[in-house]
Amino acid sequence: MGNKSLTLIGLGPMGLAMVNTYLDNGYQVTVWNRTAAKAEPLVARGAVLAPTVEEALAANELVVLSLTDYDAVYAVLEPAAGSLSGKVIANLTSDTPEKAREAAAWAAKHGAKHLTGGVQVPPPLIGKPGSSTYYSGPKDVFDAHEEALKVLTEADHRGEDAGLAAMYYQAQMTIFWTSMLSFYQALALGQANGVAAQDLLPYAKMQFAMMPHFLDLYAQHVDTASYPGDVDRLAMGAASIDHVTHTHADAGVNTTLLDAVSAIFHAGMDKGFAENSFSSLIEILKKQAG
């Protein structure tokens, strides 16, 4: 059994869920939060409230951060940077991959080791089966603290590059937010035609259930940079998205999202991909050389 003692900084809904989960699992937890009153229920359960960030850092080697963004991380830690040497910072704060890389370099400059974390579940699912967090950073550091990290969720180490956990997290969020907007777009069309959300729901679920087949096929296209038009052609897709956009416009529904999708399709057409699979649109979206 490893050392069951750690520090957690940041007591928003996620931080509170994490501390309670650690306490439920017999951990000694030192906490710090800008608004100390948030810690009172945790102290009643056995947590230790550190009066200063320096004392919170001094209490344990492993320091878990659950803050709003990396600007908040620096606002909290920079004044106490002299206390960071020898610490392992498990930074479960959401932000960009580049900011995660910068934070890892900043931590190293102050003698600390940095693990980036991307938590894949909301606070109520912390500590529950099936939950997961992406991690990236030094594998030996991750291995040394995996037992403690797995108290919160399953821990999926994605690589040594500090930015990778944030990239995986933001990639997941990219899929989630755009997929949900497409769902709302369909519901708005339904409402405009007198169809309730509950009536469209089973058909939306059926559409999402079909998606793994397409994901498998098009991921292979992208990795091989081969976009054969044997199953679908971009020209057909461009015509289809035009029909979709016109359907929504005719119903008086906002077409901002669909106009953006249509613009990408037609950029692909302009690039000469009409006879290729619509997976060729990755060439429009991806980072360009040069």
- In this predicted structure, the answer to whether residue 261 has a pLDDT above a threshold of 50 is yes
Q: What angle do CA 129, 159, 109 make, to 5 degrees?
A: 110
The fraction of the chain above a pLDDT of 90, given in percent, is: 98
Question: In whole angstroms, what is the distance from residue 146 CA to residue 36 CA?
Answer: 29
Residue 213 · residue 258 · CB < 8 Å: no
Question: In whole angstroms, what is the distance from residue 39 CA to residue 46 CA?
Answer: 11
**Position 195 confidence tier, pLDDT thresholds 50, 70, 90:** very high
Question: In whole angstroms, what is the distance from residue 94 CA to residue 84 CA?
Answer: 21
**Position 2 confidence tier, pLDDT thresholds 50, 70, 90:** low
| pLDDT tens per residue, range 61-86 | 999 999 999 999 999 999 999 999 99
Question: In whole angstroms, what is the distance from residue 275 CA to residue 227 CA?
Answer: 9
Question: In whole angstroms, what is the distance from residue 48 CA to residue 34 CA?
Answer: 15
Q: Check residue 77 and give its pLDDT.
A: 98
Radius of gyration of the chain (CA): 24
Q: What is the CATH number of domain 196-285?
A: 1.10.1040.10
Domain assignments of the chain as residue spans, ordered by start: 5-160, 196-285
| pLDDT tens per residue, range 164-181 | 999 999 999 999 999 999
Q: Does domain 5-160 have CATH number 1.10.3210.10?
A: no
Token duo for residue 233? 């052609």
Q: Single out the residue of 184, 273, 271 nearest to residue 227, CA to CA.
A: 273
How much is the pTM? 0.91
- In this predicted structure, the answer to whether residue 142 has a pLDDT above a threshold of 50 is yes
Residue 8 · residue 64 · CB < 8 Å: yes
- In this predicted structure, the answer to whether residue 1 has a pLDDT above a threshold of 50 is no
Question: In whole angstroms, what is the distance from residue 111 CA to residue 103 CA?
Answer: 12
